[in-house]
Structure 1
Amino acid sequence: MNAMTRRIAVGTVAVSIALTMAACGKAGDDKKSDSSSSSSSAGGKTIGLLLPENATTRYEKFDKPLIEAKIKELCSDCTVDYANAAGDPQKQTQQVSSMIAKGVKVLILDAQDSVGIKSSVQAAVDKGIKVVAYDRLAQGPVSAYVSYDNEKIGELQGQALLDAMGADAKPTSKIVMIDGDPADPNAADFKKGAHKILDGKVNIAYEQSGLWKDTVANQKVTAAITSLGAKNIKGVYSANDGMAGGIATALKGAGINPPLTGQDAELPGIQRILAGTQAATIYKAYAPEAEATAEIAVDLLTGKDFKSIADTTATSGSGQTVPAHLIGATAVTKANIKDTVIKDKLYTVDQICTAEFAAACKAAGIQ
Structure 2
Amino acid sequence: MKTLSKRILAASIISLGILTECAMAAPSGTVAFLMPDQASTRYEQHDFPGFKAEMSKLCPDCKVLYQNANADVATQQQQFNSVIAQGAKVIVLDPVDSTAAASLVRMAQSQGVKVIAYDRPVPTAPADYYVSFDNEGIGRAIAQSLVQHLKASGVATSKGGVLEVNGSPTDAAAGLIKKGIHSGLEGSGYKTLAEYDTSDWAPPKAQQWVSGQITRFGSQIVGVVAANDGTAGGTVAAFKAAGVNPVPPVTGNDATIAGLQLIIAGDEYNTILKPSETVAAAAAKVAVGFLNGQTPKGETTLFNTPTQLFKPAVITAQNLKADVVDKGFASAKTLCTDRYADGCKKLGIGQ
After TM superposition, the score normalised by the length of structure 2 is: 0.87
Establish whether residue 361 from structure 1 lines up as the match of residue 351 from structure 2: no
Match of 1:92 among 54, 59, 76: 76
Contact 1:112–1:184, Cα closer than 8 Å, also in 2: yes
Unaligned 5+ segments in structure 2 are 1-27
Alignment of 1:181-330 (within 5 A): 181-201=168-188, 202-211=190-199, 212-228=201-217, 230-256=218-244, 257-307=247-297, 310-315=298-303, 321-330=304-313
Distance 1:101 1:348 in 2: 41
Distance 2:265 2:325 in 1: 17
Alignment of 1:15-30 (within 5 A): none
Deviation, 1:305, is 3.8
Deviation, 1:169, is 5.3
Establish whether residue 53 from structure 1 lines up as the match of residue 41 from structure 2: no
Deviation string for 1:216-242 (max 9, x for gaps)? 0001101111221x2121111110001
Moved more, 252-261 or 107-116: 252-261
3-state SS of the aligned residue for 1:351?
A: helix
Deviation, 1:172, is 5.1
Deviation, 1:287, is 2.4
3-state SS of the aligned residue for 2:251?
A: coil
Change (3 A) 1:93 1:199: same
Match of 2:161, as an amino acid? K
Q: May I ask how many residue pairs the two structures share in their alignment? A: 316
Moved more, 67-76 or 194-203: 194-203
Match of 1:175 among 162, 181, 184: 162
Deviation string for 1:167-198 (max 9, x for gaps)? 22525522111100011111111111111121
| Correspondence for 2:51 | 67
3-state SS of the aligned residue for 2:88?
A: coil
3-state SS of the aligned residue for 1:114?
A: coil
Structure 1 runs of 4+ aligned residues shifted over 4 Å read: none
Larger radius of gyration: 2
Change (3 A) 1:130 1:157: same
| Correspondence for 2:118 | 134
Deviation, 1:151, is 0.9
| Correspondence for 1:156 | 141
Distance 2:185 2:154 in 1: 14
Contact 1:285–1:329, Cα closer than 8 Å, also in 2: no
After TM superposition, the score normalised by the length of structure 1 is: 0.84
Give the fraction of aligned pairs with identical amino acids, expressed as a percent.
Answer: 39
Contact 1:72–1:79, Cα closer than 8 Å, also in 2: no
Match of 2:341, as an amino acid? A
Deviation, 1:337, is 0.7
Contact 1:151–1:190, Cα closer than 8 Å, also in 2: yes
Unaligned 5+ segments in structure 1 are 1-43, 316-320
Deviation string for 1:63-98 (max 9, x for gaps)? 001101101100111110111101111110111111
